[in-house]
Chain A
Amino acid sequence: EAGVAQSPRYKIIEKRQSVAFWCNPISGHATLYWYQQILGQGPKLLIQFQNNGVVDDSQLPKDRFSAERLKGVDSTLKIQPAKLEDSAVYLCASSLDTDVPNEQYFGPGTRLTVT
């Protein structure tokens, strides 16, 4: 079974620039999550999709971050404009469903450095 795919793996941008990350979840997984993991901390949920609908985006800084999952499969996370404090690893995860307890499968992450 193929895992969660993310690209790019690394990105370096200057502050005020824009950046986009892509995630392809495990086939058949209805739920998709984007997490931000700052160095030395645990992942923090930014947004959760169930198919192509948003379940929770309460911790997404909506003035600069946006995410979409138009066809209920792949997802993109965008930052515009980036700030220095956005430097982190952005993790995508997917799971079969949120109605029952089950594993979230994580991708390898995209390491963003904002200079």
Chain B
Amino acid sequence: GESVGLHLPTLSVQEGDNSIINCAYSNSASDYFIWYKQESGKGPQFIIDIRSNMDKRQGQRVTVLLNKTVKHLSLQIAATQPGDSAVYFCAETKYFNKFYFGSGTKLNVKP
């Protein structure tokens, strides 16, 4: 099917390498952030979240870093696998109400 990743910035990595996907968010008052993964033809899937009182959170193979000074989020994926190929979105919210999604980054993992 048609990819959600058309016209998006693309990050190409070799299988087994680490990936770093970046996101600049807009609202300095945002207090909760989520990274989503979206595969072609599917809805976004939750990966990891972080609150504004933290600067780092780790999950299984993924780490999110938050730099509130420059309003920047990053998602690090360790030992990237072909199944990680997808479009990745960051989302921000204040007081857990309306979520604002970024424009997304397409991750392409080369075998």
Contacts and interface: CB of A to CB of B under 8 A. Distances in A.
Interface of B is mostly: loop
A109 interface: yes
B106 to A, nearest CB: 10
A104 interface: yes
Contacts of A75: none
A39 B98 contact: no
Given A55-B97, A91-B44, A100-B96, 14 more contacts: A37-B4, A40-B5, A40-B8, A42-B101, A42-B103, A43-B44, A48-B98, A56-B98, A98-B96, A99-B96, A103-B34, A105-B46, A108-B41, A109-B42
Interface of B: 1-2, 4-8, 32, 34, 41-46, 49, 51, 89, 91, 96-104
Interface of A: 4, 37, 39-45, 48, 55-56, 89, 91, 93, 98-101, 103-109, 111
